[in-house]
Structure 1
Amino acid sequence: MANLFDPVRRHADTHPDTVAIRGDSSASGGFTAWTYHQLRSRSINYAAALVESGLRAGDRVLLVAPSVPEFVVAYLGIQVAGAVVVPINTMSTQHEVDYVLDDARCALVIAWHTLGSAASAAAQVHGVPVWTLRPGADEGPASTEVRDRDLDDTAAILYTSGTTGRPKGAQLTVSNLLSAGVIGVECSRSTRLDRTGTGLPLFHVFGQASVMMTTFTAGGSLSLLSRFDATAMMAMLRRDRLTVLVGVPTMWNAMLHIAAEVDPGDFAQLRIAVSGGASLPAAVTREFRARFGCTVLEGYGLTETTASATFTDIDRGAKVGYVGRATPSTRIEVRDDAGRPCPPSSIGEIFIRGETVMKGYWERPRDTAEVLDDDGWLRTGDLGATDADGDLRIVGRVKDLIIRGGYNVYPSEVEEILFAHPDIVEVAVIGIPDDYYGEEVAAVVVRRPGSVLEAADVSAWARERLSAYKIPRVIQFVDTLPKGATGKIVKRAIETR
């Protein structure tokens, strides 16, 4: 029997005065810092109020809040009460909230005080009560017992982005999330002396499992940005003397573009920087190391694997273009179209098995059976290849593969080449319909401010470095690329002319 609250409860007993969490939790810019003792007390008090209201073990609770300390209190309070947390994007529309409320059959909505309109409107339609989460999240001095749970109990339901069909709720168990914390500690070698910071949203699996659970498992402190901003990230790095910084490629790229505000000395105490969510362009890795003397280590995971699958070995260091080897208690296989393991360097679909693989999709046995076999292997839909050392390289999604005139074009390979151009800040490569070739390669580019880069320049750059069939024939310039909550580029939202 266990509970996701166990790591916080354990450290509150052994090191009650250690700061557990820091962050901005008020509209006026107020700053919050709570110790493990305070976090335990507030979470138990919050759980007591939930139980008093009639919430039962196993009930689903919709949680919509930014990355503030109060999110953590509500999240842990739901766990103490033995219920299931259903975190959603703070930018969700009423229609999107309505869908999740109905699909998960939530018994309660908890919404941050500045974000309640969409959630409240949807809840009213379904007759679901709404609690307002306010700064402090102080529900009074009441107390309740921490409910023991089976390791296979569903602790959280996280809805996937819905690239095909309607979003599906990945059921992450008590064991999945506790294991993610243990694996994260082992891979990062975190201790209670570490001070971890992130601009990731906690409602996303990366921030929730890889960052929050890892930090609390180690007993360190977690610094949060309620909304990512490169300048704010640097200020947090300095203020809290962070030893671990976690982000996605667009965040590292944004930090490179405020270099005038950055002193390499700011990174002196930083032990590791961790990147995930998407492949980190080699150009960013090299520039980050050259400018700040800091190496960014990559990992790979999905919502369905509780954000954990591979990580770069700290001792060996980063291998440019790769996301590391399988994490502890995890197996990775790259398989061909016939389901046979691929030899090193051969591209195939990535399959994952291990302690962090989800229980299944909420009330979708057919969808679950399509991706999860009886032996626990998860079919990811990602394309990749391993090298002789077992390190994994991600080349794209199966559905993103561009087939131009019978030749396979992997978007990430083309993006890597284009991103190395000094006047290209961001780029996304996609396939578009073509009457002759079936699909054509298109590149959507964000130029460096002040650049006069033209399509012909991009074509010439690609022609010198890529085979003819991989060269983008359609090149479009935009001011920004659409991004999801973590800063990952959302290709399905890109429109080409």
Structure 2
Amino acid sequence: MATLSVAAVLAENARRRPHKTALVEGDLRLSFEQVWQRSLSRAGALTGLGVRPGDRVALMAPNTAEFPVAYYAIAAAGAVVVPVHLLLTAPEVEHVLKDSGATLLLVHPGQAATGRAAAQALGIRAVELGGELDRLAADARPLPTYVTRAADDPAVVFYTSGTTGVPKGAVLSHFNLVMNATVNAFDANDIRADDVALGALPLFHAFGQTVSLNSTWRAGATLVLLPRFDAARAIELMVKEGVNTFHGVPTMFVALAAAAGAADALPELRVCVSGGASLPVAVLERFEAAFGATVYEGYGLSETSPTATVNQPVFGTRAGTIGHPLWGVDVEIARAETEDRVELLPPGELGEVVVRGHNVFSGYLGRPEATAEALVDGWFRTGDLGTKDEEGFLRIVDRKKDVIIRGGYNVYPREVEEVLARHPQIAQVAVIGLPDELHGEEVCAVVVPAEGTAPDPAALTEWSKEHLGRHKYPRRVEFTDTMPLGPSMKVLKRELRTRYTGA
């Protein structure tokens, strides 16, 4: 039996580069050895609380130093991490705790009210990070090293945002996560031990956890945490700490490009990775012009650890694409209508993106039917529509369920958004389908206007007519100050649909 643990990512750094700065948060600076010792002492406290290998421990915390310490402590104790989104209500947290079978909740003081209410409702113990856990750790005997696990044992259970029905727990193994961190660090991009990365993505989300935390530390590099993303503050912090690596979602790239003009100085960025949602080419161009840095756009899902593809220097980058599959991963296009088997399509054809490789999850916790629907013929069906060209570049066209059918014609919101994002008065746009008696669905653009502008809806529709096919341009334009964002900073289109249906 092969053994492996995510905890090795930190343990090996403590052995190889003990005195190197691992973590920076405000004035706090910790070396790899210090982070590992803190994790081992807290792992001792968890063991004292009755946590056994294979038990599930929920972790609810923002991007403060407590998160990585607790994350690696849970892994070191041989338990399974269940990260909890910070924007959830107490009943939603209760669902995650109950569904995962968590026996303990570690919660940051800032989230304690919500976390404790959920834990109490289920009779689960909640321990606060900081004071309470520190006291328990001081009284406990630290673990001498991490508990060995089988490579295929569960390491983390991610609750997927649940665009359909209730959130499901995607079970990822130690092998999934260690491999994804390793190939992200050494094969996808050239990550070096002297790099400094900004940890602005939520660490409770797969993208932040694998790409910002685990991949950065897999390479032995330094992680600078930013507990709350604010573009001006992020630029200031990156300059101050010599950050050269930035991982973000499109909304962050939009904000950074807008804030660059007013900044006193800009960081010298070497590696910028975008994921989480499609990055409009206009935003990519604005960011690259402002920062003089290349953006490597990638793609993945909680179920794929998360990275499946990314633009990689070895293949060259292409704006508007999600690049090539990661080392050891296959990503192809399958016929979307055929659900009981995977029928691969030739280059250039539109279909459902399917993934297989070391990054594909074990399944949905306690949901064999949902697992069987998602894992077909050894492939994971993503629910995203895309194409693959002759050179192997992949492109995401849209979510299968976000496609608008207007008068019998398919309209892909992503395509309309790409065009509208180029309008000088539009800072951000989301395109949705709204019920329409005549056409079945009507195309609606929800727009955040560029600062200092007051666009006219009729003029925007007229402008769109010149750039988009007759069935594609938005007949309805709505304005909003901010987009509703999910815990992973994705625009919540279902909320927009609810807001503007019948409005």
Matched residues in 2 for 1:57 and 1:89: separation?
24
State the partner residue of 2:163.
163
TM-score, with structure 1 as normaliser: 0.96
Q: Given residue 211 of structure 1, which amino acid in structure 2 is its aligned partner?
A: S
* Shift, 1:317, TM fit: 4.0
Matched residues in 1 for 2:322 and 2:447: separation?
25
State the partner residue of 1:216.
217
Task: State whether residues 21 and 35 of structure 1, in contact with CA within 8 Å, keep that contact through their aligned partners in structure 2.
Answer: yes
Task: State whether residues 350 and 385 of structure 2, in contact with CA within 8 Å, keep that contact through their aligned partners in structure 1.
Answer: yes
Task: State whether residues 196 and 243 of structure 1, in contact with CA within 8 Å, keep that contact through their aligned partners in structure 2.
Answer: yes
SS at match of 1:289: helix
Matched residues in 2 for 1:92 and 1:313: separation?
35
Equivalent of residue 70 in structure 2, options 61, 74, 81: 74
State the partner residue of 2:360.
357
SS at match of 1:328: coil
Matched residues in 1 for 2:343 and 2:361: separation?
23
CA deviations over 1:38-77 (Å, ceiling 9, x no partner): 0110000000010011111111111100011110111100
Matched residues in 1 for 2:469 and 2:347: separation?
22
Change (3 A) 1:136 1:252: farther
Q: Given residue 441 of structure 1, which amino acid in structure 2 is its aligned partner?
A: V
CA deviations over 1:80-114 (Å, ceiling 9, x no partner): 10111111111221111111111111110110012
Q: Given residue 401 of structure 2, which amino acid in structure 1 is its aligned partner?
A: K
CA deviations over 1:343-396 (Å, ceiling 9, x no partner): 3222111000010110000010011000012x4310000011111211111111
* Shift, 1:486, TM fit: 2.9
State the partner residue of 1:292.
291
Task: State whether residues 196 and 215 of structure 1, in contact with CA within 8 Å, keep that contact through their aligned partners in structure 2.
Answer: yes
Q: Which has the higher mean CA deviation after the structures are superposed, 290-299 or 72-81?
A: 290-299
Q: Given residue 435 of structure 2, which amino acid in structure 1 is its aligned partner?
A: P
Matched residues in 1 for 2:215 and 2:482: separation?
33
Matched residues in 1 for 2:43 and 2:407: separation?
59
* Shift, 1:341, TM fit: 2.1
Matched residues in 2 for 1:419 and 1:217: separation?
36
How many residue pairs get aligned? The number is: 488
Change (3 A) 1:166 1:316: same
2:340 is the counterpart of 1:341: no
SS at match of 1:45: helix
State the partner residue of 1:113.
109
Task: State whether residues 42 and 137 of structure 1, in contact with CA within 8 Å, keep that contact through their aligned partners in structure 2.
Answer: no
SS at match of 1:464: helix
Matched residues in 2 for 1:172 and 1:340: separation?
26
Change (3 A) 1:463 1:224: same
Matched residues in 2 for 1:320 and 1:354: separation?
25
Aligned pairs (5 A) from 1:377-456: 377-456=379-458
Task: State whether residues 10 and 72 of structure 2, in contact with CA within 8 Å, keep that contact through their aligned partners in structure 1.
Answer: no
Matched residues in 1 for 2:489 and 2:58: separation?
23
Matched residues in 2 for 1:9 and 1:161: separation?
31
The gaps in structure 1 that reach 5 residues or longer are 25-30
TM-score, with structure 2 as normaliser: 0.94
SS at match of 2:293: coil
Matched residues in 1 for 2:101 and 2:114: separation?
17
Matched residues in 2 for 1:346 and 1:436: separation?
30
SS at match of 2:317: coil
Q: Which has the higher mean CA deviation after the structures are superposed, 188-197 or 133-142?
A: 133-142
State the partner residue of 1:303.
302
* Shift, 1:485, TM fit: 2.1
* Shift, 1:247, TM fit: 0.5
* Shift, 1:291, TM fit: 2.2
State the partner residue of 1:370.
373
Matched residues in 1 for 2:314 and 2:183: separation?
16
Aligned pairs (5 A) from 1:2-17: 2-17=4-19
State the partner residue of 2:192.
191
Matched residues in 2 for 1:182 and 1:17: separation?
22
SS at match of 1:76: helix
Cα RMSD (Å): 1.4
Q: Given residue 361 of structure 1, which amino acid in structure 2 is its aligned partner?
A: Y
Q: Which has the higher mean CA deviation after the structures are superposed, 187-196 or 174-183?
A: 187-196
Task: State whether residues 63 and 199 of structure 2, in contact with CA within 8 Å, keep that contact through their aligned partners in structure 1.
Answer: no
SS at match of 1:10: helix
Matched residues in 1 for 2:12 and 2:65: separation?
19
Matched residues in 2 for 1:121 and 1:437: separation?
46
Task: State whether residues 74 and 137 of structure 1, in contact with CA within 8 Å, keep that contact through their aligned partners in structure 2.
Answer: no
Q: Given residue 105 of structure 1, which amino acid in structure 2 is its aligned partner?
A: G
CA deviations over 1:381-413 (Å, ceiling 9, x no partner): 001111121111111100001111111110000
Matched residues in 2 for 1:143 and 1:253: separation?
44
Matched residues in 1 for 2:132 and 2:294: separation?
36
State the partner residue of 1:179.
179
Aligned pairs (5 A) from 1:128-167: 128-134=124-130, 138=134, 139-140=137-138, 142-144=141-143, 145-167=145-167
Q: Given residue 208 of structure 1, which amino acid in structure 2 is its aligned partner?
A: Q
- Identical-residue share of aligned pairs (%): 42
Matched residues in 1 for 2:330 and 2:234: separation?
34
2:93 is the counterpart of 1:97: yes
CA deviations over 1:145-166 (Å, ceiling 9, x no partner): 4110001100111101111111
2:30 is the counterpart of 1:34: yes
The gaps in structure 2 that reach 5 residues or longer are none
